[in-house]
Amino acid sequence: MNQKKQKIGVIAGTPVDTQMGVDFVTGKGYEAVGVPTASGPEEQNLLQFLNPAALTEKVKNIILSFEQNFIFKTMIYCNSLSSAIDIDSIKKSCFQSQVVTPLDIYGSLALRFNKIMLWAANGQCLSGIEKIFYENNPSIEITGISMLPVIKAIEAGQHPEVIIERFNLIGLISTQWKADCLVLGCTHLPYLKEKLQQKVGFPIIDPAEEMLRILECR
C-alpha cells in the first residue's frame, strides 16, 4: 500500500482542534479519521485536571476502535491532552498501533534551542512540556504563557487578527527577552501562526509537522 494512502487516526480534546488535526493530516496527502475526547474546552479541562484516569481510558478505547477499522497510526493532536493521560499505559494496551504525541517532539527541540518561549493552553500542559525541556537540556531558558481564553476565542471562530489584538499577543511574545523561537504548545494555536509570524522576528514552531514525519518514517 502506498504510504500516502494510509489512514491516520486523530485524537484531540474538542471537535474544533480534532478537525484542525484532520485538516492538517489530509492537507499532507493522507486520509484521516478524527475523534474528540470532549465537547468543548471547559469539559476537556475538567477531565484533564479532575479525572485523568477516565480520560486515559477514553483515549485507549478510541485507539482500539481505530484498530478495529484497520487504522494503526494515531496522532494525539493535543498538547494538554497528551500531558494529562498515561501515555505509556495507552501504548502498552494499544501495542498494534503507532501512537505519537506532541510530547515526543520536545526533547529534540530542547537540544536545538537555548531560549524558548512556550505557549500552552493551561498550566498543567505548560508544566509537562517544561519538564521535558529541562530533562533534555538542564540549562535551557524558558518563558511560559498559558491562556485558555485564547483557546476559547479560537474555538468560537474569531478571526486571527481580532484574537491577536484583543489579547495583545504581540506584546506578550515580542518581549526584550529575545527568544530563539516560540513553541506552539497547543494544537489550537497554529490557527494564529501565519499572522503571528508576520509580526515577530523569530521562528514559530508547530510540533505537528514533526509528529507527522515520525509517523511517515515507521
Domain of 36, CATH number, reads: 3.40.50.1860
Which residue range is the domain that position 19 belongs to?
A: 3-102+209-216
121-172: pLDDT as tens digits:
888 889 989 999 999 999 999 999 998 899 999 999 999 999 999 999 988 8
Residues 15 and 86 in one domain: yes
| pTM of the model as a whole | 0.83
> What single-letter DSSP state applies at residue 188?
T
Distance CA 202, CA 3 (A): 34
Are 114 and 148 within one domain?
A: yes
Same domain, 157 and 176: yes
Share of the chain above pLDDT 90, in %: 75
What is the pLDDT, as a whole number, of residue 76?
96
Higher-scoring residue by pLDDT: 86, 42: 86
- Separation of alpha carbons 199 and 165, rounded Å: 12
Residues 12 and 87 both lie in one domain? yes
Distance CA 86, CA 59 (A): 10
End-to-end CA distance of the chain: 14
User: β-strands 115-120, 141-146: how paired?
Assistant: parallel
AA letter at 124: Q
Residues 34 and 18 sit within 8 Å (Cβ to Cβ): yes
Q: Are residues 96 and 137 in the same domain?
A: no
**Total domains present in the chain:** 2
Determine the Cα–Cα distance for residues 115 and 206; give it in Å rounded to an integer.
16
Please say if the pLDDT value at position 173 is more than 90. Answer: no
Mean pLDDT of 36-44: 91
When the pLDDT of each residue in the chain is averaged and rounded to a whole number, the result is 91
Which of 29, 36, 8 lies closest to 211, judged by CA? 8
Same domain for 73 and 138, yes or no, is no
Q: Within this chain, do residues 86 and 118 fall inside the same structural domain, yes or no?
A: no
Residue 94 φ then ψ, to 5°: -105, 55
